[in-house]
Structure 1
Amino acid sequence: MVQDSPPDLRPASLEEIEASLSHGLRYDGRRKVHTADEMMARITAERLVAYLQSCGYVILRRAGSPAPSTSTHRHPHTDAG
């Protein structure tokens, strides 16, 4: 059975999509990728979002999902082990 959209999903904003794409172009997990600088990643992400929007794509996001982080600091809820 296919459901239109589970109740915990919502449409992602353009800013969220741009931030996620830009992060994905600049980082591999937490490690910075040195093949793409920040300006190029931002421009590429903006152009991709504009293109997807013009094609009618709708990208969903789980409610309450955190935005990608580029911080090198340990998350306060992570076990220091």
Structure 2
Amino acid sequence: DPDAADLTAATAEEIAAVLSYALRYDERGKPRRSGWDFAAGMAAERLTEHLRRSGYIVMRARPGRPHSAG
């Protein structure tokens, strides 16, 4: 779990992309059989806008430094 210093606010585009992915794929990364990929993108954008209007700020962990082998 990251601590507060490792968090940054996610952009609306990042939030919509994550929501769209969650609606299109299951927990193993396999496509859902619903066949509504187009609607998933629209639903993700709608949810993102609703979160913004409701005053929510979604935080995400900053990318970590790449580790070096050795």
Could you say what secondary structure the match of 1:25 adopts? helix
After TM superposition, the score normalised by the length of structure 2 is: 0.81
Confirm or deny that 1:22 pairs with 2:16.
Answer: no
Percent identical:
36
Secondary structure at the counterpart of residue 31 of structure 1: coil
Higher RCO by CA contacts (8 Å cutoff, separation 6 or greater): 2
1:17-67 deviation per Cα after TM superposition (whole angstroms, max 9, x unaligned):
0000000000002110011421100000000000000000000000017xx
Residue 48 in structure 1 maps to residue 47 in structure 2? yes
Q: How far apart, CA to CA, are the structure 1 residues paired with 2:35 and 2:11?
A: 24
Unmatched tracts of structure 2, length 5 or more? 65-70
What is the CA–CA distance in structure 2 between the aligned matches of 1:58 and 1:64, rounded to whole Å? 18
For residue 11 of structure 1, the aligned residue among 9, 29, 40 is 9
- Label 1:17 to 1:55 Cα distance change in 2 as closer, same or farther (>3 A): same
Task: Judge conservation of contact 1:17–1:49 (CA < 8 Å) in 2.
Answer: yes
Q: What is the aligned partner in structure 2 of residue 35 from structure 1?
A: 34
2:67: which partner in 1? none
**Are 1:11 and 1:61, in contact at CA under 8 Å, matched by a contact in 2?**
yes
Root-mean-square deviation (CA, aligned residues, Å) is 1.5
